[in-house]
Amino acid sequence: MRFEHETLTQRVRFAPGDAPAAVRAEVERLGGSRVMVIASATEHDLAGKVTAELPVIVRHDEVLMHVPVAAAERARAAATAHEVDLIVSVGGGSTTGLAKAIALTSGLPIVAVPTTYAGSEVTSVWGLTEGARKTTGSDPQVLPRSVVYDAALTLSLPVAMSVASGLNALAHCVDSMWAPRTDPVDRVLAGEGIRALAAGLPDVVADPVGLPGREQALYGAYLSAVAFSSAGSGLHHKICHVLGGAYNLPHAQTHAVVLPYVLAFNAPAAPEAAQRIADAFGATSAVEGLQRLRRAVYAPTALRDYGFAEEHIEDAVRAILEAVPVNNPRPVTADGLRQLLRAAWAGTDPMASGGTED
């Protein structure tokens, strides 16, 4: 029982159906009087309602995946030109990412209002891309000061995107069980995150405009990101980072597809983690629990459906091998990775990709 756990300083409000008042209270608490609202054109109406009563000085909607440096520079220039003193971001991980890019160079406080289950709002990790090269880093300045979770804002998230994003959150939980800095606190949060997501996501699919499933999923997504933020990137995130960066695959769907293969690969070598995951699913094994959930929510199944070509496998294996965490519970060989990626590419049974029954 020797470990170090850092708790990041952030205020979180769960306010179903009540984002406008909750956001206003947070902006007042932080003394914001010249607010910049960041929301993509798709989330324009949603953001308009949430921020209607704020002292908004500028609205910025140039939100692009993976935050290109040039777009970050334009957003920073707008913040400076309008003498902004606080940023409110309303949207998914891409929107939060742009707010973080501004905070990185300006130190401006962020009130984040997430509308997906990506979890970026809970981490001090930023990401910027220049051409095909993605740079990430960690800086306490980019951690939003406040987060307002309103499940009603996620009702418009299409079911397929909700499922992919929810499984992205589930991947934070699973990887947190064995990531480089994992500790007992992370594993408790991750277990409860799995339970909440496994309860919420089937309800989201069955009743996309019902609040209870969305609330559970958002709560699980928050816990997943807190655990992940502390535990760091395990094998799953290293694989997805390479795939997303080099082959421009969609973030949430890539995580959703790859997760069962990494779980089947690692579970036999991490029996305690596997038992914890199985218990959280209420299943006899971790893989069985995940697969049962995936079937119930019609999860994405194959990387080939998202633009990953079979001939990319060899290059991807080489790039991933360089990034494998040294503490991964099971040794990772080129052959093991090749089998894993081939199975994820084709969408075949995860247990046939080098995994064994856990």
Q: Which of 51, 89, 146, 154 binds ligand NAD (CB under 6 A)?
A: 154
Of the listed pieces 25-33, 37-45, 208-216, 315-323, which binds ligand NAD according to CB under 6 A?
37-45
Q: Are 253 and 234 in contact (CB under 8 A)?
A: no
Site string for ligand NAD, 236-255 (x = CB under 6 A): ---------------xx---
Residue 163 near ligand NAD by CB under 6 A: no
Residue 42 near ligand NAD by CB under 6 A: yes
User: What CA–CA distance (Å, rounded) separates 303 from 290?
Assistant: 18
Residues touching ligand NAD, count (CB under 6 A): 27
Residue 71 near ligand NAD by CB under 6 A: no
Q: Are 240 and 301 in contact (CB under 8 A)?
A: no
User: What CA–CA distance (Å, rounded) separates 347 from 135?
Assistant: 30
Residue 161 near ligand NAD by CB under 6 A: yes
Closest CA to 109 of 29, 176, 184, 21: 29
- Nearer CB in complex with ligand NAD: 119/191: 119
Q: How far is the CB of 357 from ligand NAD (least distance, A)?
A: 31
- Token pair, residue 332, equals 């990772």
List, in sequence order, every beta strand (DSSP E) within the chain.
Answer: 11-14, 35-38, 56-60, 86-91, 110-114, 125-130, 133-138, 146-149
Site string for ligand NAD, 111-150 (x = CB under 6 A): ----xx-xxx--x-x-x-----------------------
Q: How far is the CB of 264 from ligand NAD (least distance, A)?
A: 23
Closest CA to 324 of 337, 314, 308: 337
HSE, CB side, 13 Å, CA atoms: give it for residue 51. 30
- Nearer CB in complex with ligand NAD: 137/271: 137
The percent helix, strand, coil of the chain (3-state, each to 5) is: 60, 10, 30
Q: How far is the CB of 29 from ligand NAD (least distance, A)?
A: 24
Chain position carrying tokens 């397929």: 160
Q: Which of 165, 233, 266, 339 binds ligand NAD (CB under 6 A)?
A: 165
Residues that bind ligand NAD (CB under 6 A): 40, 42-43, 65-66, 91-95, 97, 115-116, 118-120, 123, 125, 127, 153-154, 156-157, 161, 165, 251-252
